[in-house]
Amino acid sequence: MDLYEHQARQLFADHGIPVPRAEVTASPQGAREIARRLGGRAVVKAQVRTGGRGKAGGVRLVAGPAAAELTTRQILGTDINGHRVGKVMLAEPVDVAEEFYVSYVLDRAAGGFLAIASAQGGMEIEEVAARHPEAVARIPVDPAEGVTSAKAGEIASAAGLPPQTADVLIRLWQVLVGEDALLVEVNPLVRTAQGRVLALDGKVTIDDNARFRHSRWTAEDEERLDPLEAAAAERGLACVRLDGEVGVIGNGAGLVMSTLDAVAGCGARPADFLDIGGGASAEVMADGLSVVLSDPAVKCVLVNVFGGITACDAVAEGIVAAVDTVRLTNPLVVRLDGNNAARGRAILGERAHPFVEQATTMDGAARRAAELAHSA
Tell me if residue 101 is catalytic.
Answer: yes
Kind plus residue range of the DSSP H or E element containing 129: helix 125-131
Strand, helix or coil at 176?
helix
The residues facing 107 across adjacent strands are 112
What is the CA angle 101-172-61, rounded to 5?
Answer: 50
Catalytic residue among 5, 23, 154, 185: 185
Do 356 and 332 contact (CB within 8 A), yes or no?
yes
Those residues whose C-beta lies under 8 Å from the C-beta of residue 242, and which sit 6 or more positions away, are: 260, 269, 270, 271, 272, 273
Those residues whose C-beta lies under 8 Å from the C-beta of residue 341, and which sit 6 or more positions away, are: 307, 312
As a whole number of angstroms, the distance between CA 109 and CA 101 comes to 23
DSSP string, 290-358: HHHHT-TT-SEEEEEEEESSS-HHHHHHHHHHHHHHS---S-EEEEEEETTHHHHHHHHHHH--TTEEE
Q: How many residues does the chain have?
A: 376
Do 202 and 104 contact (CB within 8 A), yes or no?
no
Residue 302 sits at φ, ψ, to 5 deg, of -115, 120
The residues facing 185 across adjacent strands are 103, 203
Compute how many other C-beta atoms are within 10 angstroms of the C-beta atom of residue 350: 9
DSSP string, 328-347: --S-EEEEEEETTHHHHHHH
Tell me if residue 124 is catalytic.
Answer: no
Catalytic residue among 5, 23, 69, 101: 101
- Residues identified as active-site: 101, 185
